[in-house]
Amino acid sequence: MATIIDIGSSTASTGSQTISIPILTPAQNLILAEFGLATVTGGSVQLNANVGFQTTLGVPSVVFTLYRDGQPIYNVGSSGLSVLAIQPISLSFLDRNVPPGYHAYSLGVANNSLNVLLNTASVTGPATFSGISIG
Q: Please give the model's pTM, rounded to 2 decimal places.
A: 0.92
d(CA 119, CA 99): 39
d(CA 134, CA 125): 28
Q: Each residue of 31-60: pLDDT tens digit?
A: 999 999 999 999 999 999 999 999 999 999
Domain of 97?
4-134
CA R_g for the chain:
16
Provide the domain count of the chain: 1
Q: Each residue of 85-127: pLDDT tens digit?
A: 888 999 999 999 999 999 999 999 999 998 988 999 999 989 9
Q: Are 12 and 20 in contact (CB under 8 A)?
A: no
Amino acid at 1: M
| CATH number, domain with residue 99 | 2.60.120.1340
